[in-house]
Amino acid sequence: MVSASGSVPTPDPSHPAAPAPPAPQTAPVPAERLRKVAAGILHALGAPAPYADQTAALLVEADLRGVDSHGTHLLGLYASRIRAGHLHPAAAPRVVRDGGATLLLDGGLGLGQVAGLEAVRLLVDRTRRHGVAAVAVREGTHLGALAAYTERAARAGVVCLCFQNGPTLVPPHGGLTPLFSTNPLSYAVPAHEEPPVVYDVATTAVAGNKLLLARKRGDATIPDGWANDTRGRPTTDPAAASVDHLRWFGGHKGFGLAVLVELLAGALTGSCFGATEDTASPAHGRERVAKGFVFLGLDPERFLPGGGFAARVDTLVREIRASEPADGVDRVLVPGQLEHERRAVREAEGIPLPDALREEINQYAAELGAPGLD
């Protein structure tokens, strides 16, 4: 029997929503322990303790939700960027422009999680005051999994959308010139008795490392729709498919959303966008670390006071879950459901870290004189 998640044609093992593929692993690690070790490493790399704690908490939260590619696996990337001087772990986000319902922050090329959490805190506050609000961030760096931010706003009663852009890796639909990142977008909507609805995806069909993995495994073919060859022609041949020519999910439809992400998260925030490099960072093009984010908030109480909207969200969530599954599908899912379920399991049983990641974390800890996992 194919699970409901298995029936979705946008799998991406670099940030999987379905259970991670089997990888060699030792005993699961309790979330609290992983959080402390990750925070110790970030602190030793120069992040003030509160920033190290915030960033570690969000990385472990992604691990708990099963979005392993955006969990503590990212510590290595952050460490290399900090050591190269491209990410400034002590930089504090600052307000550049305050229009009441609108705010522009500068992340100072600091930890993306620190700027992202500050942006969402301000978004919730301003949305409650004004009914709608927008918080934009320029000179941000990697946010991790976007759901961390939108879900926080939703749990505070605010409908939230978040967009983030990044380096020039992916060409426009039908083109060959790299101009975009995988341009993720997320929304979260508060419910009453049900958990919030949380949608969080890249706008490309698949990440480059899924293709690299298929090649490494010696797969004869890759699924149609993942990638083009170097001349932009669709291919299912892993050798001909190019990691620089990933395809957008839904073709021109996913591409259209990626353009919106680029325009709002990049152009509107005064950040880099397309080939335009508005950043103090020396890392450009496909190596670009500077990213722009935008968060949009809406207070449902302004439309249906007394929790009327949240109750209606519950109704729809239950209707989706109760709908009859198609042939070959176990159950119908609401966006965010898999991650909420996996979080409950991993909070109780611990996080199953692959051996290689456990070793990597222990190695960083040893190098930096911080406590490790073992």
Ligand X SMILES: NC(=O)c1ccc[n+]([C@@H]2O[C@H](COP(=O)([O-])OP(=O)(O)OC[C@H]3O[C@@H](n4cnc5c(N)ncnc54)[C@H](O)[C@@H]3O)[C@@H](O)[C@H]2O)c1
* Contact (CB, 8 A) for 141 and 89: no
Q: Quick check: 67 binds ligand X (CB under 6 A)?
A: yes
- The residue within the footprint of ligand X, chosen from 147, 188, 296, 370 (CB under 6 A), is 147
- The residue within the footprint of ligand X, chosen from 34, 117, 123, 146 (CB under 6 A), is 146
Q: Which is nearer to ligand X, 88 or 142 (CB)?
A: 142
Stretch near ligand X under the rule CB under 6 A, chosen from 11-19, 168-176, 233-241, 269-277: 11-19
For residue 9, give every residue at least 6 positions away whose Cβ sits within 8 Å of its Cβ, in sequence order, or none: 205, 223, 225
Q: Which is nearer to ligand X, 7 or 236 (CB)?
A: 7
Q: Quick check: 139 binds ligand X (CB under 6 A)?
A: no
Q: What are phi and psi of 109, to 5 degrees?
A: 55, 30
Q: Quick check: 70 binds ligand X (CB under 6 A)?
A: yes
Residues 210-239 that bind ligand X (CB under 6 A): none
Count other C-beta atoms under 10 Å from residue 129's C-beta.
11
> How many positions of this chain bind ligand X (CB under 6 A)?
31
Stretch near ligand X under the rule CB under 6 A, chosen from 101-109, 276-284, 309-317, 330-338: 330-338
Q: Which is nearer to ligand X, 40 or 110 (CB)?
A: 110
Residues 258-297 that bind ligand X (CB under 6 A): none
Stretch near ligand X under the rule CB under 6 A, chosen from 1-9, 21-29, 269-277, 350-358: 1-9
Q: What is the smallest separation between the CB atom of 172 and ligand X, expressed in angstroms?
A: 17
- The residue within the footprint of ligand X, chosen from 74, 123, 143, 259 (CB under 6 A), is 143
Closest of 71, 126, 2 to residue 353, by C-alpha:
71
Count other C-beta atoms under 10 Å from residue 213's C-beta.
16
Q: What is the smallest separation between the CB atom of 326 and ligand X, expressed in angstroms?
A: 11
- The residue within the footprint of ligand X, chosen from 178, 270, 292, 336 (CB under 6 A), is 336
Stretch near ligand X under the rule CB under 6 A, chosen from 217-225, 257-265, 328-336, 354-362: 328-336
10 Å CB burial of residue 80 (0-12, 13-18, 19+) is exposed
Q: Quick check: 142 binds ligand X (CB under 6 A)?
A: yes
* Contact (CB, 8 A) for 300 and 306: no
Q: Quick check: 12 binds ligand X (CB under 6 A)?
A: yes
Q: What is the smallest separation between the CB atom of 268 and ligand X, expressed in angstroms?
A: 18
Q: What is the smallest separation between the CB atom of 105 and ligand X, expressed in angstroms?
A: 17
Count other C-beta atoms under 10 Å from residue 86's C-beta.
17
Sign of CA dihedral 42, 46, 49, 51: negative
Tokens (6 digits) for 58: 């969000």
Binding mask 242-261 for ligand X (x = CB under 6 A): --------------------
Strands (E) across 238-307 are located at 291-298
Residues 179-208 that bind ligand X (CB under 6 A): 182, 184, 186, 198-202
Strands (E) across the chain are located at 94-98, 102-106, 132-140, 159-164, 185-189, 197-201, 227-228, 234-235, 291-298
Stretch near ligand X under the rule CB under 6 A, chosen from 44-52, 86-94, 266-274, 336-344: 336-344
Q: Which is nearer to ligand X, 147 or 373 (CB)?
A: 147
Q: What is the smallest separation between the CB atom of 7 and ligand X, expressed in angstroms?
A: 6
* Contact (CB, 8 A) for 189 and 196: yes
Q: Quick check: 333 binds ligand X (CB under 6 A)?
A: yes
Q: Interface residues with ligand X (CB under 6 A)?
A: 4-5, 8, 10, 12, 15-17, 67, 70, 142-147, 164, 166, 182, 184, 186, 198-202, 333, 335-336, 338-339
